[in-house]
C-alpha cells in the first residue's frame, strides 16, 4: 500500500496519475475528496482530512508500506518550525507506530552548504528531513531547486506587463525543475523500494538558467517581449506581508531567496542521474503557454506587440 499526501497539489496530482494503475494499492489523504477526478476516486482508498492531523495519519498509515510526504505551504503560519516540523510531527509518530518502511519527501537543495542554516523555508525543510529520517524509516528527500511551475503565479504580469519579478540577480544562473519531473522521481522511488537508509535525491532539471535567460526563452515561446525585473529583497518581503503572509513566512521567503542568490542551489554537481529531462523551454511550451492561451483576456503585452 502506497499512501500519497497532498494528492490535489501540483506534484501530488501528477504523482497520482503515475502510481494509480501501477498495480499497487493506493491510499490518498485529502481534505476534500471531491477535488479528486472521479476516475481516480474509483481506483483508490481515500482518507479524508489533513495529513497534519494525528488521527487522520494514524488511520491512513495503517497497513501502509510506503509514503509520499509533502508539507503544504501555510503562509499564515506563525513560525517556519510549526509549518514544517509541527505539521510533520504527527506523521513521524504514526510512521513509527504503523511500521511504514519507506518515505519519499519533498524537500530542497542546500544540505551541506554553509547557507543551509539561514535559508528560511529551505532550512525548515531540511530540519523536517532530519525529523523523518530520525524515525528510522528508509527515507529519500527529493532535493529540489525552485519549481518552473512557480512562474504560473506570474501569468497576470507576464501577460499584462510583459514582466516577471523575483528578488534574484538577473544574470546569476540556477538550476530549476518541472513539478512533472519531481512527480516522476517520486514515483520511481515509491514503485521500486529496493533502497534503504537515508539519502537526498537531487532533481536538477537539464540546465542552469538565469532569470534573464528565462525571459529570453519566454519571449521566443510566447511571441511577445518578456523582461525580468529584480525586486529588492526588502520590497519583496514587504509585498508578501501586504498580501497577508505572516511575518515569519515572508521573512522565510526573503531569507531563502537571499541564500539562493548566494549559491544555495548551486553546490550539487549535475550528473546524468540527477539531471531531469524537462527543459524550461519545453515547460513553457507544454505548460505555461497553454495556461496563458486558456485565460480569457488577450495578453496586453501580446496585443501591443502585434
Ligand X SMILES: NC(=O)c1ccc[n+]([C@@H]2O[C@H](COP(=O)([O-])OP(=O)(O)OC[C@H]3O[C@@H](n4cnc5c(N)ncnc54)[C@H](OP(=O)(O)O)[C@@H]3O)[C@@H](O)[C@H]2O)c1
Q: Which is nearer to ligand X, 115 or 301 (CB)?
A: 115
Least separation, in Å, of the C-beta of 74 and ligand X? 6
Cell numbers for 97: 507506530
Cα separation, 219 vs 209, whole angstroms: 15
Binding characters for ligand X, 201-240, by CB under 6 A (x = yes): ----------------------------------------
Chain mean position to CA 222: 25
Task: Compute the distance between CA of residue 170 and CA of residue 43 in angstroms, rounded to an integer.
Answer: 46
Interacting residue with ligand X among 16, 19, 70, 94 (CB under 6 A): 70
Q: How far is the CB of 149 from ligand X (least distance, A)?
A: 7
Least distance between ligand X and beta carbon 282 (Å)? 18
Grid coordinates representing 41 are 476516486
Closer to ligand X by CB, 240 or 301: give it.
Answer: 240
Task: Using DSSP bridges, classify how beta strands 102-108 and 138-144 pair: parallel, antiparallel or unpaired.
Answer: parallel
Q: Is 260 in the site for ligand X (CB under 6 A)?
A: no
Beta bridge partners of 199: 140
Residues 151-190 that bind ligand X (CB under 6 A): 179
**Could you tell me if 83 and 71 are in contact, meaning their C-beta atoms sit under 8 angstroms apart?**
yes
CB of 182 to ligand X, least distance (A): 8
Helix/strand/coil for 30 = strand
Task: List beta partners, residue 230.
Answer: 166
Q: Residue with CB nearest ligand X?
A: 9
Stretch that binds ligand X, among 5-13, 152-160, 186-194, 199-207 (CB under 6 A): 5-13
Among residues 11 and 137, whose Cβ is nearest to ligand X? 11
Residue written as grid cell 501580446: 302
Measured from the Cβ of residue 133, the count of other Cβ atoms closer than 10 Å reads 19
Task: Give the contact letters, 7-46, x = binds to ligand X (CB under 6 A), - = no.
Answer: -xxxx------------------xxx--x-----------
Lay out the site mask for ligand X across 99-118 (x = CB under 6 A, - = otherwise): -------x-x----------
CA distance 114 to 296: 46
- 192 makes contact with ligand X (CB under 6 A): no
In whole angstroms, how close is the CB of 237 to ligand X at the nearest point? 17
- The DSSP letter of residue 267 is -
How many chain residues interact with ligand X (CB under 6 A)? 25
Check: CB of residue 94 under 8 Å from CB of residue 54: yes
Q: Which of residues 237-256 bind ligand X (CB under 6 A)?
A: none
- Closest approach of ligand X to the CB of residue 189, in Å: 16
Stretch that binds ligand X, among 67-75, 192-200, 260-268, 297-305 (CB under 6 A): 67-75
If one asks whether residue 67 binds ligand X (CB under 6 A), the answer comes out as no
Contact call for residue 82 and ligand X (CB under 6 A):
no
Residue pair 268/143 in contact (Cβ under 8 Å)? The answer is: yes
Residue 51 CB, nearest approach to ligand X (Å): 5
Quickly list DSSP for 127-169.
HHHHHHHTTT-EEEEEEE--BGGGGGGGHHHHHHTSEEEESS-
The residue among 141, 143, 163 whose CA lies nearest residue 151 is 163
The Cα–Cα gap between 39 and 47 comes to 17
Residues that bind ligand X (CB under 6 A): 6, 8-11, 30-32, 35, 50-52, 70-73, 106, 108, 121, 125, 144, 146-147, 150, 179
Amino acid at each position: 500500500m502506497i499512501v500519497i499526501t497532498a494528492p490535489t497539489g501540483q506534484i501530488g496530482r501528477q504523482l497520482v496519475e503515475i502510481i494509480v494503475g501501477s498495480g499497487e494499492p493506493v491510499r490518498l489523504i485529502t481534505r476534500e475528496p471531491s477535488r479528486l477526478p472521479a476516475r481516480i476516486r474509483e481506483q483508490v482508498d481515500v482518507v479524508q482530512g489533513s495529513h497534519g492531523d494525528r488521527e487522520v495519519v494514524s488511520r491512513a498509515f495503517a497497513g501502509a508500506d510506503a509514503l509520499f510526504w509533502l508539507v503544504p505551504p501555510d503562509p499564515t503560519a506563525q513560525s517556519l518550525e510549526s509549518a514544517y516540523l509541527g505539521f510533520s510531527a504527527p506523521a513521524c509518530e504514526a510512521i513509527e507506530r504503523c511500521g511504514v518502511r519507506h518515505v519519499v519527501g519533498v524537500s530542497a537543495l542546500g544540505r551541506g552548504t554553509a547557507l543551509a542554516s539561514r535559508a528560511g523555508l529551505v532550512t525548515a525543510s531540511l530540519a523536517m528531513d532530519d525529523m523523518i529520517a530520525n524515525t528510522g524509516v528508509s527515507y529519500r528527500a527529493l532535493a529540489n531547486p525552485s519549481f518552473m511551475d512557480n512562474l504560473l503565479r506570474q501569468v497576470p504580469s507576464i501577460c499584462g506587463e510583459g514582466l516577471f519579478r523575483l528578488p534574484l540577480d538577473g544574470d546569476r544562473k540556477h538550476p530549476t525543475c518541472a513539478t512533472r519531473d519531481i512527480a516522476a522521481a517520486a514515483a520511481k522511488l515509491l514503485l521500486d523500494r529496493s533502497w534503504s537508509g537515508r539519502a537526498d535525491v537531487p532533481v536538477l532539471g537539464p540546465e542552469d538558467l538565469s532569470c534573464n535567460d528565462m525571459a529570453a526563452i519566454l519571449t521566443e515561446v510566447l511571441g511577445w517581449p518578456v523582461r525580468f525585473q529584480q525586486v529588492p529583497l526588502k520590497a519583496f518581503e514587504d509585498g508578501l506581508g501586504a498580501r497577508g503572509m505572516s511575518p515569519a513566512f515572508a521573512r522565510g521567503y526573503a531569507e531563502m531567496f537571499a541564500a539562493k542568490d548566494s549559491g544555495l542551489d548551486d553546490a550539487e554537481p549535475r550528473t546524468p542521474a540527477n539531471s531531469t529531462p524537462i527543459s524550461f523551454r519545453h515547460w513553457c511550451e507544454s505548460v505555461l503557454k497553454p495556461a496563458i492561451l486558456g485565460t480569457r483576456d488577450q495578453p496586453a503585452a501580446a496585443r501591443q506587440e502585434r
